[in-house]
Amino acid sequence: MLGVITLNAIVLGAETYDGVEDRYGDALHLLNGVFLGAFVVELAIRMIACWPRPIEFFRSGWNVFDFIVVTASFLPGLRENATLLRLLRLARIVRAVRFLPDLRVIFAAVIRSVPGVSSLALMTLLLVYLYGMVGWLIFHDSDPESFGNVGEAMVTMFVLLTLENLPTYIERGQELSDWTLLFYLSYVLVASFLIFNLFIGIVINSMEEARAEEHRRERVAERKAAAESDDPEDGFVVGVEDRIDDLRQALDALEDELRTRTRT
């Protein structure tokens, strides 16, 4: 199925070239129908595998996503709309995440980092606004193109988050006063370095949480498979892993207790 998804992505890309579409349009549309048929068969097999409890299929968010993406292609209103149909075909490519564990962890980390990144973005916006206002007060006469109003000043400070043209702005500021160097240096230290380091910390923490959640899901699947298996070795392996988890939790508890006593 990963190969089918990859071929589907290639065909979608080929359709964007006018010459290819004019020459091989019928073949490309036929291939899209074949891909859709393969997705339907795969979806049906996965649903039948959950029999006699088909509701188990919909307990997974990825299964629900696959079901919506595949079945939506048959809706009458969408099939006549070329743009929406292309978007649906494009959404099928996202299903490749389900087949790659590492990519699934990264995707989960991105979702988990949204609240923290949103708070950081709000703080960054406030910081850009404050420095934009200060920059307007200092440079609105000497550099009206970059600091003519608060909007242009905020755009300038936002661009400086990437340190783009920083030496140029410093030179312009020093033509006005050497003290303007403090304005730019403080902004770079606070906004560029601190903000980006906080962003990296949020993403790394989200990655660790996503990996732990993926490990927990794998353990649940292993326990379920061991419970359904008649091989005693499966139960032994799961039991050993459970004991390792218990030891890890005990070590974490001891570390927390040690930190608490050290602080007090």
Q: What is the pLDDT of residue 41?
A: 93
Q: What is the pLDDT of residue 132?
A: 92
Distances in Å between the Cα of 72 and the Cα atoms of 76, 86, 155 are: 9, 12, 41
Q: What is the pLDDT of residue 234?
A: 63
Buried b (16+ CB within 10 A) or exposed e, 31-67: bbeebbebbeeebeeeeeeeeeeeeebeeeeebeebb
Q: What is the pLDDT of residue 79?
A: 65
Is the pLDDT at 200 greater than 80, yes or no? yes
Mean pLDDT of 209-234: 74
Distances in Å between the Cα of 139 and the Cα atoms of 29, 40, 89, 90, 133 are: 58, 62, 50, 47, 10
pTM, two decimals, is: 0.62
Q: What are 221's two structure tokens? A: 């699947």
Mean pLDDT of 170-180: 87
Q: What is the pLDDT of residue 122?
A: 92
**Tens digit of each residue's pLDDT (9 = 90 or more) over 76-115:** 777 667 677 777 778 878 877 777 777 778 888 888 888 8
Q: What is the pLDDT of residue 82?
A: 67
**Tens digit of each residue's pLDDT (9 = 90 or more) over 29-70:** 899 889 989 989 998 998 898 888 878 888 888 888 888 888
- Between 117 and 76, where is the model more confident? 117
Q: What is the pLDDT of residue 96?
A: 78
Mean pLDDT of 200-214: 86
Angle, alpha carbons 49-53-54 (nearest 5°) = 65
Mean pLDDT of 183-192: 88
